[in-house]
Structure 1
Amino acid sequence: MARLLPVKYILRQPCYIYIFLTTSSVLFVMHLKYQQISKEMPGKLGVSYASFQLDLGTGQSIANYFERKSQLMKRSPFKTVLPREFQRASNKTLFLIYAYTKHRQFCRKYNSESFCLSTCPFRNCQFTCDTSLIRRADAIIMFYSHLNYDKLFDLAVYRNPNQLWLLWHDEPYATAPVYNKFLFNWTMSYRLDSEVSVATYGVTHVRNESINQIVFAKWIDENYKNRHNEAVWFVSNCNSQKRLHFYGQLKQHFPISAFGKCINNQTNDSHKCVRGSQCELEKLSTSKFYLAFESTTLRRDYITEKFWRSLSLGAIPIVLGPKRQSYERIAPPNSFIYAQDYSDFITLAKHLNDVATNRQKYEKYHAWKINYETRYLSRDVEPIRFCELCYRLNKNKDRIWYSNVNKYFLEID
């Protein structure tokens, strides 16, 4: 064991990190190199759509989806990939994934057979929280909110050179710079170019069978007639002044029912109408629009469950967040209103009023329901996320590490 002690010294000397990695091959990971897919995947609404949608029906369709995502990924300046001659092929047929977590319920949850996606292209990944297996694991999932620097440092001293370290971080704030020295191999996050990112907060997928036109027309008739011509908003994080300002300006031109501690409105029961409450469900189910405003509009691809929940409950999301392209890549076709498309609040309000009072225009924002559906509950999206992880463990060919994971999560869109 004594010969391994220099690792601790090297970890404390940032200038030696790269030399150490290339000479001793400390970080062996896999990153998928996909075959080229030249064909655009059309939407089922009779038009060519720039997005691509997930079909959960077969393993091959899921694999095609993961491959297509890879074609959209841009190489981050904060990732390093070793030259091809340093890569090694793997003949493994079973992968062990260790969950580095302080919450034991996580272990019970992800070891259940029901957790696995039945149509995943690969089902040869096993999850464990058994600490005796930590050095044998092919990959270690590390939750950023659970990390303890001292414990992680001790683990890094005798780090398995063939082991993949994956940082799970779904929030839009940066990691502490001190964690850069651990050179995580992969990330699991909301960013498209994270190795594991599909269905972070929600997902669009193709229906097994299209909705009957008569059934769809009836749904449109009922919702157009019964839903209020207003937008609803639930907000608890008061730090985002941009979205609060946007709300304050828009409500002067279009009716908005807002709830939460950030709203100065004594006439509503804001403390009772919170996320996940019956009140929220009722409001989303009886309003035509929802303000799906993210807490930050600067972080690339950061689109949270508020967007997906709105779609699933039948309210048209008015979005204020990352670039339009981030939404178009994952949302159903023509399903949202991008607030920054409009020159001013009056113009946006006029469009909202037009949609709310014109059945034909209202229907256009829901036509996607005929062929697609959305999911956002953890029991639905997490099996997809771990399917992608298992897929990449099986298919990758590259060795990669994040040279600066802190700046990676600070990168502005």
Structure 2
Amino acid sequence: MKSERPLGRRTLLLVLVALLCSEGLFYALYTPSAQTPRCSDGTSNCNHSKDDKSPAGRRTPDRSTVVLIWRWPYGHRAGLQSCSKLFQIIGCRLTADRREYDKADGVMFHHKDVQGNLSELLRMRRPPLQKWVWMNMESPGNSRRRAHLDGLFNLTASYRRDSDVWVSYERIVEASEDRQKAFKIPPKDKLVCWIVTHWNMRFRRVQYYRELSKHLTVHTYGGAFERPLGLQEYHSVMSSCKFYLSFENSIHKDYITEKLFNPMRVGAVPVVLGPPRENYEELVPAGSFIHVDDFKSPQELAEHLVFLDQNQDAYERFFRWRQHFTAERSHLSLEHACRICDHIKRHKVYTVVKSLSKWFWG
């Protein structure tokens, strides 16, 4: 057999050149260029504008989440202040301009406005990724039930703590040292007060008031008693009373409104009629209010209020919570919109409210 000849110098040089060329080609194809920076997602397209106007169906990573307020609740138009300034929510933009409908990530619909335009909503085209949010701060007893709402919305926003987006009417928050020192119980010249406009003899609050007023004097104001008050008078009268009847117009789970928080803020002790005491204690300190259900009858409650009127130390115990906390007013419609936006920004999963009627009205 003929023996193999060793490779010549020329052949060896050609092999080395070929290897060097292939290495350079591999480096050029597979190594990121210093002129093309890579983004965190592995792509090279890092120029996402923060003012991107892409529709909700084609969301880009860095643009603000947009929520359209279909109609301001009760026509009370609020300023579109920054969600970051009021609620420390970043990356959100609110609009009331319906021309931005196709660009909105979510649309907030107030229940009272929906019930009069339901047929319009059922015909509307919706971008694939856009979420419709049902918003309501009224109780089931004050909200018209509509079966066609089932399956129409993606999220709920209300006073109910089991809503997708929960917003309390008002809240108790930690007070600054200055506010703790500043609070003084206002001067009092009335024992019990009640300011009310909506009067209905079937309401439990009306029936309870009529029995209670047989045993002590209740100073009454508002449209129901033909003694309307302006905003300044409203707070002035309330603060001049030792006790204020914080009676809700209907009794439902979590339905605890400004009727509780207003007297707490101005320095009166609320006497509440609404959901059970346990529900109230989830929102405010247990010793900050009196619940009518703690007494066997309106007469027994009246006797207790008279006792507290005659015992200042016992009365002042209802204000101990002010050593650490204060009552904070809410920006209801605006806060709903901001917290809806924050929820949509943080939750990208598919959701639908299949039975709004059963959940809310039972």
What TM-score comes out, normalization by structure 2 length? 0.74
In the alignment, which residue of structure 2 is the partner of 1:376?
Answer: 329
In the alignment, which residue of structure 2 is the partner of 1:99?
Answer: 69
In the alignment, which residue of structure 2 is the partner of 1:207?
Answer: 175
Provide the C-alpha distance between the structure 2 equivalents of 1:241 and 1:228, rounded to a whole number of angstroms.
29
Work out which of the residue numbers 137, 141, 159 in structure 2 matches 1:190.
Answer: 159
Amino acid at match of 2:205: R
The offset of 1:284, in angstroms, is 0.6
**Partner SS state of residue 343, structure 1:** coil
The offset of 1:174, in angstroms, is 3.7
In the alignment, which residue of structure 1 is the partner of 2:215?
Answer: 253
Provide the C-alpha distance between the structure 2 equivalents of 1:119 and 1:376, rounded to a whole number of angstroms.
12
Provide the C-alpha distance between the structure 2 equivalents of 1:290 and 1:210, rounded to a whole number of angstroms.
26
CA change 1:228–1:301 in 2 (3 A) is same
The offset of 1:134, in angstroms, is 0.8
**Partner SS state of residue 141, structure 1:** strand
Q: Residues 185 and 400 of structure 1 are in contact (CA less than 8 Å); yes or no, is this contact kept in structure 2? A: yes
Root mean square deviation of aligned Cα: 2.8
In the alignment, which residue of structure 1 is the partner of 2:206?
Answer: 244
Provide the C-alpha distance between the structure 2 equivalents of 1:102 and 1:328, rounded to a whole number of angstroms.
31
In the alignment, which residue of structure 1 is the partner of 2:10?
Answer: none
Provide the C-alpha distance between the structure 1 equivalents of 2:232 and 2:75, rounded to a whole number of angstroms.
26
The offset of 1:356, in angstroms, is 2.0
Provide the C-alpha distance between the structure 1 equivalents of 2:330 and 2:73, rounded to a whole number of angstroms.
20
In the alignment, which residue of structure 2 is the partner of 1:159?
Answer: 126
Q: Residues 67 and 337 of structure 2 are in contact (CA less than 8 Å); yes or no, is this contact kept in structure 1? A: no
In the alignment, which residue of structure 1 is the partner of 2:135?
Answer: 168
The offset of 1:149, in angstroms, is 1.8
The offset of 1:145, in angstroms, is 1.9
Cα deviation code 1:312-341 (max 9, x no counterpart): 111111000112222111124521111111
Provide the C-alpha distance between the structure 2 equivalents of 1:103 and 1:279, rounded to a whole number of angstroms.
25
Work out which of the residue numbers 339, 342, 347 in structure 2 matches 1:391.
Answer: 342
Which runs of 5 or more structure 1 residues have no equivalent in the other structure?
1-89, 263-269
Provide the C-alpha distance between the structure 1 equivalents of 2:328 and 2:74, rounded to a whole number of angstroms.
26
CA change 1:96–1:277 in 2 (3 A) is closer
In the alignment, which residue of structure 2 is the partner of 1:111?
Answer: 80
Amino acid at match of 1:271: E
Which runs of 5 or more structure 2 residues have no equivalent in the other structure?
1-59
**Partner SS state of residue 346, structure 1:** helix
Q: Residues 290 and 318 of structure 1 are in contact (CA less than 8 Å); yes or no, is this contact kept in structure 2? A: yes
Provide the C-alpha distance between the structure 2 equivalents of 1:280 and 1:119, rounded to a whole number of angstroms.
26
Q: Does 1:410 align with 2:329?
A: no
Equivalent residues in 2 for 1:209-228, closer than 5 Å: 209=177, 211=179, 219-220=184-185, 223=186, 226-228=187-189
CA change 1:102–1:348 in 2 (3 A) is closer
CA change 1:159–1:358 in 2 (3 A) is same
The offset of 1:165, in angstroms, is 0.6
Provide the C-alpha distance between the structure 2 equivalents of 1:301 and 1:398, rounded to a whole number of angstroms.
27
**Partner SS state of residue 162, structure 1:** coil
Cα deviation code 1:262-285 (max 9, x no counterpart): 4xxxxxxx43434x4444333212
Equivalent residues in 2 for 1:228-377, closer than 5 Å: 228-239=189-200, 240-262=202-224, 270-274=225-229, 276-297=230-251, 299-376=252-329
Amino acid at match of 1:281: H
Which has the higher mean CA deviation after the structures are superposed, 251-260 or 98-107?
98-107
CA change 1:281–1:132 in 2 (3 A) is closer
Provide the C-alpha distance between the structure 1 equivalents of 2:227 and 2:253, rounded to a whole number of angstroms.
33
Provide the C-alpha distance between the structure 1 equivalents of 2:180 and 2:67, rounded to a whole number of angstroms.
43
Aligned residues: 299
Amino acid at match of 1:284: M
Higher relative contact order (CA 8 A, sep 6+): 1
Provide the C-alpha distance between the structure 2 equivalents of 1:278 and 1:100, rounded to a whole number of angstroms.
32
**Partner SS state of residue 327, structure 2:** strand
Q: Residues 271 and 291 of structure 2 are in contact (CA less than 8 Å); yes or no, is this contact kept in structure 1? A: yes
Provide the C-alpha distance between the structure 1 equivalents of 2:316 and 2:333, rounded to a whole number of angstroms.
31
Amino acid at match of 2:216: F
What TM-score comes out, normalization by structure 1 length? 0.65
Amino acid at match of 1:312: R
Q: Residues 205 and 249 of structure 2 are in contact (CA less than 8 Å); yes or no, is this contact kept in structure 1? A: yes
Provide the C-alpha distance between the structure 1 equivalents of 2:254 and 2:361, rounded to a whole number of angstroms.
13
CA change 1:106–1:285 in 2 (3 A) is closer
The offset of 1:350, in angstroms, is 2.3
The offset of 1:311, in angstroms, is 0.9
Cα deviation code 1:30-51 (max 9, x no counterpart): xxxxxxxxxxxxxxxxxxxxxx
In the alignment, which residue of structure 2 is the partner of 1:130?
Answer: 97
Identity within the alignment, %: 27
**Partner SS state of residue 402, structure 1:** coil
Provide the C-alpha distance between the structure 1 equivalents of 2:207 and 2:72, rounded to a whole number of angstroms.
39
